A and B are shown apart, each in its own frame.
Chain A
Amino acid sequence: MALVATLASRNLFQDRLRFVATLIGIVFSVVLVMVQMGLYLGFGRMVTTMIDHAPADLWVVAHGTNSFEDLSLLDAQMRDRLLAVKGVAAAVPVVIGFSGWRLPGGGMTPVFVVGSDPNAGGLAPWNIVAGSAQALTGAGAVAIDKTYYDRLGVSGIGAKTEIRGQPAQVEAVTGGIRSFTTTPYVFADLDAARSYIGLPSNKVSHFLVRLKPGADLRQVQSGIRSAVPGIDVLTPQEFRQRSRSFWLFGTGAGAALFAGALLGVIVGTVIVAQTLYSSTKDHLYEFATLRAIGCSKRYLYSVIILQALINAVLGFAVAAAIGLAVVAASAGTSLPIVITPLLMGALLGLTVAMCVGSAIAAISRIVRLEPMMVMAR
């Protein structure tokens, strides 16, 4: 180990209590930022889960629709005009809406109904663990997620109930299709879904547009906009961005998550700055001795910055382990925390920046150091 690193690390570890307190501060800070950002990513993924799994090249939605869950409506007859646009192979209607699921003991619980024709390549449930999506074409057949069994009072395939007074029977069960609103999704075919949410047959929520082979996406998008004014035609990526923007920033949820993360950074910076400063103050005569025997400022700074880096790396290692445990613990919840390699890398960079930035106070203390002070002692 280079001598400067030896000096930095031994000075840092000399006061173990202070070192542990610093690490706790960094770990607290990084875990807080990690969880907030993990929630942000998890939330961002959940709000686009339907868009991610829909077999669409383009989404046709009512003008101003802010997300998949937006209940704005389109005329069903629009489908013919969409099919008439050059390059359009299919325009599959999707209906969505809230409804009430009758519980076995009486009473109702809200559900979010998603209706589409699976045989026409509509928005069908995925991750099916029992039954099949094709079974949804039967009258009153629905698919639910197994995580909502208790909530919906069912125990699996064959369970019967009523949705908005209409008979329904569970014919397919999914694993992991959870709603960020905590309201369970219920998949049904188009007509059944209309009856469950009380939607007239001449209305749909969105169209999933698929292109003919070789058709140019942008040209078709432009063609639909010209042929059917007053609607929004979005690529899946555009719809995802719009949905995330609405749910994360339109609702303030994202700002709250970022505020929490910022708080973590501030707390971490203050703690590391305070401990580095106090450590530097304790070793002031050593720094003055270094300066007296001809040490350059750069060498002095490197001692402090190395201490900051040691704090950062060790603190981050502990925080990352805790963060991964939190991710594992949240995997089965309605809002799983998502930590990607990119987020991990960014957090490491943030931790290093936070710790090195915290060294500024300590460095400012030794900038003013007079080597003469070692003579007076």
Chain B
Amino acid sequence: MTQPIIAANNVSKTLGAGAGQVHALNHVDLSLNGGNLTMLMGPSGSGKTTLLSILGGMLTPSEGKVQICGVPTEGASAEQLAEIRRRHIGFVFQTFHLFPTLTAAENVQLALDLRGERGAGARARTREVLTRVDLARKAAAFPRELSGGEQQRVAIARAIVADPAAILADEPTAALDGANGQEIMSILAAIAKEPHRAVLVVTHDTRLTGFADRTLRIEDGALLPEEPSSGNVYRMRSNA
């Protein structure tokens, strides 16, 4: 059996203390496998972002265990968690979080620079991924010169440039209009077709479920029993 790229076993997370204590996650079990786009849906405050943060090694669980590419996050220091993220995870954020003083290409290349990958090889890889998200012509543009959709495509390029095993996207279409949102999801779905890579998209937009291979719902910090997927519309379209 293939080892999951990210595995969470019986994960709980408690935030705050005393009267303000919140049980953000309750005994969550989840595996993300390569070649799949998993969509995590749920209302505000349901624990979606907390779960994504734990799966991405930004937070450690209060209880339970998480393994990212076989590496347990339990007991890892902040620096060790950063290394796990750097090696295995690509993040896509709701508000892009691009560096305003860097060009599109530099924003992408930064993810390689953090890994010590520099020079001609890094530049070539950057061009390659910008071409993949159809932004090669805007490589020299600064974020302020790009539309929201273009900025999110740069963010996706940054997330995939180092070829991580998992892409975790937190509401990647929330700041975009419908058309741009569909385009971004198409790109993420295409990335998820690669068998060595798992993609998790956190969203509350039910219009996007057609892109998912698997849809999970979370409420009050607990995953609801998984239902059979309604099908991958994108894949059906692209296979048509």
Expressed in whole angstroms, the minimum distance between the Cβ of A139 and any Cβ of chain B is 80
State A295–B89 Cα separation when bound (angstroms): 12
CB of B96, distance to nearest CB on chain A (Å): 9
Q: Is the CB–CB distance between A375 and B85 below 8 Å?
A: no
Q: A6-B102, A7-B102, A299-B114 are in contact. Are A374 and B97 (CB under 8 A)?
A: yes
Chain B interface size, under 10 / 10 to 19 / 20 to 34 / 35 or more: 35 or more
B77 shortest CB reach to chain A, Å: 10
Q: Which residue of B lies closest to A367 (CB)?
A: B78
- Whether the Cβ atoms of A296 and B53 lie closer than 8 Å is no
Q: Mark B72-90, 1 if CB is under 8 A from A, else 0.
A: 0000001100111111011
Counting contact residues on chain A (CB < 8 A from B), the size range is 20 to 34
Give A6 to B109 CA distance when docked, in angstroms: 12
Chain A residues closer than 8 Å to B106, beta-carbon distance? 3, 6-7
From the candidates B78, B85, B94, B170, name the one contacting A293 in the complex (CB within 8 A).
Answer: B85
B101-124 contacts to A (CB < 8 Å):
101-102, 106, 109-111, 113-115, 118
Nearest residue, chain B, Cβ from A298: B79
The secondary-structure label for the interface of chain A is helix
CB distance from A286 to the nearest CB of B (A): 6
Q: Is B89 touching A294 in the complex (CB atoms < 8 A)?
A: yes
Most buried by A among B90, B91, B99, B115: B99
A377 within 8 A of B: yes
A292 within 8 A of partner (CB): yes
Once A3-B109, A291-B82, A372-B53 are accepted as A-B contacts, the answer to whether A296 and B102 lie under 8 Å apart by CB is no
A151 within 8 A of B: no
**Least Cβ distance of A6 to chain B in Å?**
6
Which residues 162-188 in A have Cβ within 8 Å of B in the complex?
Answer: none
Closest CB in chain B relative to A14 CB, distance in Å:
6
Looking at the complex, which one of B53, B86, B101, B109 makes contact with A294 (CB distance below 8 Å)? B86
A-B contact pairs, 23 of them (CB 8 A): A2-B113, A2-B118, A3-B106, A4-B113, A6-B102, A7-B101, A10-B101, A10-B102, A286-B97, A286-B99, A289-B99, A292-B85, A292-B93, A292-B97, A293-B111, A295-B114, A296-B83, A296-B86, A299-B114, A372-B59, A375-B52, A375-B53, A375-B58
